[in-house]
């Protein structure tokens, strides 16, 4: 079999191949052209799917806007330009649907030559419209009370805990991507039988799509959101992880570190995957903690990134080993930085409190958190949000962990010092260095070192006074 390089070189240089190679060279060239066309067709199909997803969101927004049009007109505080914006969206939707219908009617080789930038431009325009106008569309009144999301200071076991922020870009907490809705319907039909519902193939398709275009922000956002909705219990989380979803998500975070939306959606999927012990360990082993902290560092003022990241850290810091590792990576300082910056934003603050509480439950982290100013930050949060039950409960509980019952009992420490030496020596050491009372009862077996240390501290203090 003649090589492709040799065939192309012969064709372009004008050289004549031996007769026995001419047929095979032609076959190779035809195969190369077909392969290139198929690869281009796959890329075009990806963007067609992107635009289709955006059109579904646009249809939902137009339906919401039309249903509330009369109410909006009667309320003077409504956005006056919204009707015009909705008409523009409807016109663009009609245009794109017409182009998609024309595209679908083409033979496959014509679709392979279709200009991908057309679909890409439409997807970008529709996404930009959502970001600017979706929040201004009046929401229909709910038929019942909505339960507010509340972080819990332990790993989540229910994948629906964050349902209220689903597809926030689309402007409706009940809006679902068509593919996700179909997958959830299949799960409802087959109960918890993941394989009977065909979810393995769905996950594999999503992961393959993300891997095929790793720097396409739209593909990565939609892919992560789809995976997030498919993580409903331990079995589904393990099945998602088995399809290389975790390294794919972390790779997406690495290649799109400047894309805040990608970082937020990736962290949101890690929240759900981390609710099962085995997948949580996989995330940690794949350096997921580092990826999340990097996202927080890169996008400090972005509330979406910060609350998703803190929710993920809360789930990932479920054992003493994980809590210690997160603290060693600077997780405590990063969470406190976020709390200071977003202290007035409850959507961020509540998740930060959950992550900080988990860190504080490990005794080995408490001294470092106190030194970093955690108690003061917590008190500020509690003071600023007196009516928020979650802030009050978790905030005060974490303060008690850092300052209350877990703090060494000074009377017990002093008694241990007396037992380790005598009362006079204990008084002498405490007089020189009162901070020794924070050492705890273990000081009983280290009275000689305590005595030497208190002498050194007292001498340094006296030397310092000479230079004042």
Identify which has the larger pLDDT, 324 or 128.
Answer: 324
% residues pLDDT > 70 (the chain): 65
- Residue 457 banded pLDDT, cuts 50, 70, 90: low
Q: What pLDDT shows up at residue 256?
A: 94
* Range 422-435 average pLDDT: 78
pLDDT digits (tens, 9 = 90+) for 2-42: 444 444 444 444 444 455 444 555 555 555 555 555 555 55
* Range 78-84 average pLDDT: 69
Query: How high is the mean pLDDT of the chain?
Result: 74
* Model-wide pTM > 0.75: no
Q: What pLDDT shows up at residue 72?
A: 45
- Residue 404 banded pLDDT, cuts 50, 70, 90: low
Please tell me the distance from the alpha carbon of residue 425 to that of residue 5, in angstroms, as a whole number: 89
Q: What pLDDT shows up at residue 184?
A: 60
């Amino acid at each position: 079999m003649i090589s492709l390089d040799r065939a192309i070189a012969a064709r372009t240089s004008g050289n004549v191949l031996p007769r026995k190679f001419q047929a095979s060279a032609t076959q190779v060239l035809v195969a190369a052209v077909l392969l290139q066309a198929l690869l281009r067709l796959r890329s075009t199909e990806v963007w067609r799917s992107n635009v289709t997803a955006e059109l579904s969101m646009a249809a939902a927004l137009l339906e919401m806007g039309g249903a509330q049009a009369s109410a909006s007109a009667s309320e003077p505080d409504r956005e006056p330009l919204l009707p015009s914006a909705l008409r523009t969206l409807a016109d663009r939707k009609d245009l794109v649907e017409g182009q998609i219908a024309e595209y679908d009617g083409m033979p496959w080789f014509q679709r392979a030559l279709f200009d991908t930038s057309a679909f890409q431009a439409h997807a970008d325009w529709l996404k930009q419209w959502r970001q600017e106008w979706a929040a201004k569309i009046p929401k229909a009144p709910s038929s019942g009370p909505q339960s507010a999301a509340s972080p819990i200071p332990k790993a989540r076991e229910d994948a629906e805990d964050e349902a209220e922020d689903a597809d926030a870009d689309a402007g409706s907490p009940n809006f679902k991507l068509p593919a996700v809705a179909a997958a959830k319907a299949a799960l409802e039909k087959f109960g918890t039988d993941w394989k009977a519902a065909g979810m393995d193939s769905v996950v594999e398709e999503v992961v393959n799509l993300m891997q095929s275009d790793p720097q396409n922000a739209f593909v990565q956002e939609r892919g992560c959101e789809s995976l997030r909705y498919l993580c409903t219990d331990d079995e589904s989380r393990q099945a998602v992880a088995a399809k290389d979803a975790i390294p794919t998500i972390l790779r997406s975070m690495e290649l799109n570190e400047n894309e805040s939306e990608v970082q937020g959606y990736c962290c949101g999927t890690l929240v759900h995957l981390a609710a099962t012990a085995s997948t949580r360990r996989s995330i940690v082993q794949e350096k997921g903690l580092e990826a999340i902290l990097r996202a927080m560092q890169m996008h400090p003022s972005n509330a979406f990134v910060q609350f998703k990241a803190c929710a993920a850290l809360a789930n990932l810091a479920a054992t003493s080993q994980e809590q210690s590792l997160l603290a060693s990576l600077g997780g405590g300082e990063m969470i406190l930085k976020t709390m200071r910056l977003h202290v007035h934003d409850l959507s961020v603050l509540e998740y930060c409190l959950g992550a900080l509480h988990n860190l504080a439950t490990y005794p080995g982290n408490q001294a470092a958190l106190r030194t970093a100013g955690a108690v003061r930050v917590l008190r500020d949060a509690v003071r600023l949000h007196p009516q928020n039950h979650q802030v009050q409960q978790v905030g005060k509980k974490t303060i008690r962990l850092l300052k209350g019952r877990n703090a060494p009992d000074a009377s017990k420490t002093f008694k241990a010092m007396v037992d380790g030496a005598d009362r006079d020596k204990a008084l002498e050491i405490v007089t020189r260095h009162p901070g020794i009372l924070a050492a705890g009862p273990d000081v009983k077996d280290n009275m000689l070192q305590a005595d030497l240390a208190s002498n050194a501290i007292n001498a340094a203090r006296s030397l310092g006074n000479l230079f004042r």
